[in-house]
Structure 1
């Protein structure tokens, strides 16, 4: 793995030349079914929603960076890769040709590092087109055959859960202190997270987790990059042939499982002053960050309620037209951290997170997604997620966070964080 100090931009010679070939694939198999059993937990990549997207395995190239310069270093490295690549693309839709997958730490001072990965094999589907891409360092184009469909994934066995760095009681105390700071006028909103440790008797098969998430949460983007995996409902930004879109989520209520009761809860969420205030901060932060890169923008006046199997969110879809050549990664960097995962004002909120949270988020709540050689791509926020512990394939650290404003109640926020842990907890179940 190549790694550079955060403030040093790599030169074009830092990346070797790659040979890339994309061919059409005649298949309607689920994308996640192609992930091979032998692929390691750090080698599996995914960006799948409603049967479309990208999966990959193997490692042709990878890059890491840390600190305040992690985004610019990753962007420079990717430019050097694309400049030296030889690409034969026989399909020609977004996601074909040379593609990288990436995930980035939430905090500048995280012990974790940003990762960019170029898989050696990528399978994709979009708008009725399916394809397979091969990436190699060999100095010639190689034949590309249809990949084999893998067998069933292995269910985890004997999974137990334990408090992580932040227990529920610790979290309640942190929320109470945050509400005091907000009430004093120090800031308007802060997002606080907690963690949970899941341990199995044997190594956990990431394919099992991804398939379960895709089956149960079709409205989310099911992702995996370098040992980080989950199902995020929040699209940080997508750049697609000049169109920029972002889905903002802030304001949450847990579902009961009773349709009639849930409709009443959805109506109450749409009227909740606390949740509407939290949502307004998040939407405003996204619109302000995107504005310098856009010629026009549409921001709906009021949110809609997004229904997921376990919770409902206030949601707003922002759409804009690109005014420059900023890549999807550059746009994601300009948005991070949004008010949905940091708070308002950003600098004060991030400082308070460092003071009250008592854990390293790692790549939780950071950008995760993919980008092609043109800079088009999609980046979500790594929510409803977990990360394999380094050198321990039996253990995943799960994360969940809640937006705290003046009207927040500590016990209610603990309950909301529990609800947000359900997708990953259920995905680790063997039944």
Structure 2
């Protein structure tokens, strides 16, 4: 939106070339939140409101927030991308005029965010040309939590007028269209070659270099018609209702993994690691047998233990108490079953930690990187053979009080500049007992949600 005032990108933290130039003062945001009449009860009621093809979305079981338009965008770079985004968001809020008549999580000023998995490095290879973090403040947000529905309007140097239900009804919506015929081709590493990458990871683990590494692959989808993200979002929100359906800055998907929720001093993180495929047409009895097998699998339990320990270790400095389950439960999804644990903690108010700072501390967890973190990340850079971009990075939203929800961008795709192309991603946790061909099959299962959303 060329007419939208955009501040200059936030410079990388610790920039050393010359005297750092301070970021310009952000525009003054004027924010008004009012209640709306209840929406229909359908799972897709929020997604169905989206008026154009640049949607902002965070929805689960029909609740959540969606947004459109762009009042402000804050792009950040390098290792300091989270801290810089947090500081820029606080600076924007310091000048904002806010009237929030709802006062629920997600009302008032909110920013949708997405961050790259890796920081891109700080040496010669890092030229600062592409942002690795983005916070997008929409012009309009509609939210629902239980039986309360609201609208937030965000203007730049505007007034506190609220259009309410009449304004929502008058919003012009372009027709939603399907992608037409879709073809899938190999990404950076072909399906035939990927088991060799996994085998190399297993060999490094068995040699004692590390304990676990998460390796990913991509598939390229080419569509007959330009991709309309709203088509994909509606299908994902309806079929994967227990996941968090998201769309931010070109990343779209339905993630089962909640990196963290920070709400009124309580922090929750849903950790997934250890997966088994759910075959099409599998009966409930067969699904229970497979779930029991997963719950007893030493390989999957080992992978899960690494992931839970990594989250607990990262949260500990920010929390006064924590509850870590002794054993995981099995999360059933239409395409796979996961070992899952919900870690909960009480935030220490003395740390003054926002959800963004917690996301920075948690990322990358063992569930998407490995153990030890540095060794796993180095191995990913060495052998994975692709640019993850924002796949497996934090995605979600942050509110005015710093609370928010951040998932991990899994079961996802990245929209290309060419609207006829997407990159679909899937990754698998590799430990010493991993079988490369079985991991390839697991990656195919994890590609199912986005393939299904495209109609493949």
Q: TM-score range by the shorter chain?
A: over 0.9
Question: Following the alignment from structure 2 to structure 1, what is the Cα–Cα distance between the partners of residues 292 and 175?
Answer: 41
1:4 pairs with 2:10? yes
1:274 is aligned, of 294, 299, 319, to 299
Q: Which runs of 5+ in 1 are unaligned?
A: none
Structure 1 residue 13: deviation in Å? 5.1
Question: Equivalent residue for 1:314?
Answer: 339
> Matches of residues 5-404 of structure 1 in structure 2 within 5 Å?
5-7=11-13, 14-29=25-40, 30-36=45-51, 39-40=52-53, 43-109=54-120, 113-146=132-165, 147-148=168-169, 150=173, 153-256=176-279, 257-324=282-349, 325-390=352-417, 392-404=418-430
* SS of corresponding position for 2:192: helix
Structure 1 residue 143: deviation in Å? 3.0
**Inter-CA distance 73–10: structure 2 relative to 1 (3 Å threshold):** farther
Contact persistence 1:240–1:377 (CA under 8 A) = yes
**Inter-CA distance 11–99: structure 2 relative to 1 (3 Å threshold):** farther
**Inter-CA distance 379–265: structure 2 relative to 1 (3 Å threshold):** same
Contact persistence 1:12–1:80 (CA under 8 A) = no
* SS of corresponding position for 1:354: helix
Question: Following the alignment from structure 1 to structure 2, what is the Cα–Cα distance between the partners of residues 414 and 144?
Answer: 51
Question: Following the alignment from structure 2 to structure 1, what is the Cα–Cα distance between the partners of residues 10 and 75?
Answer: 7
Structure 1 residue 203: deviation in Å? 0.8
Question: Following the alignment from structure 2 to structure 1, what is the Cα–Cα distance between the partners of residues 317 and 249?
Answer: 32
Structure 1 residue 351: deviation in Å? 0.2
Structure 1 residue 52: deviation in Å? 0.3
Contact persistence 2:33–2:162 (CA under 8 A) = no
Comparing 111-120 with 300-309, which one deviates more in the overlay?
111-120
Instruction: Describe the superposition over 1:368-426 as per-residue Cα deviations: whole angstroms up to 9, x where unpaired.
Output: 00000100000000000001112x11111110000000000000000000000000000
Structure 1 residue 153: deviation in Å? 2.5
Instruction: Let me know the Cα RMSD of the aligned residues.
Output: 1.5
Structure 1 residue 17: deviation in Å? 0.9
TM-score normalised by L of structure 1: 0.96
Question: Following the alignment from structure 1 to structure 2, what is the Cα–Cα distance between the partners of residues 184 and 248?
Answer: 27
Q: How many residues align?
A: 425
Instruction: Describe the superposition over 1:284-336 as per-residue Cα deviations: whole angstroms up to 9, x where unpaired.
Output: 00000000111110011000000000000000000110103200010011000
Question: Equivalent residue for 2:435?
Answer: 409
Contact persistence 1:187–1:345 (CA under 8 A) = yes
Q: Which runs of 5+ in 2 are unaligned?
A: 1-5, 15-19, 122-129
Instruction: Describe the superposition over 1:249-271 as per-residue Cα deviations: whole angstroms up to 9, x where unpaired.
Output: 00000012222211111000000
Question: Following the alignment from structure 2 to structure 1, what is the Cα–Cα distance between the partners of residues 268 and 105?
Answer: 15
Question: Following the alignment from structure 2 to structure 1, what is the Cα–Cα distance between the partners of residues 93 and 354?
Answer: 13
Instruction: Describe the superposition over 1:114-161 as per-residue Cα deviations: whole angstroms up to 9, x where unpaired.
Output: 111000000001121110000000332223232138576311101111
Question: Following the alignment from structure 2 to structure 1, what is the Cα–Cα distance between the partners of residues 301 and 269?
Answer: 18
* SS of corresponding position for 2:365: coil
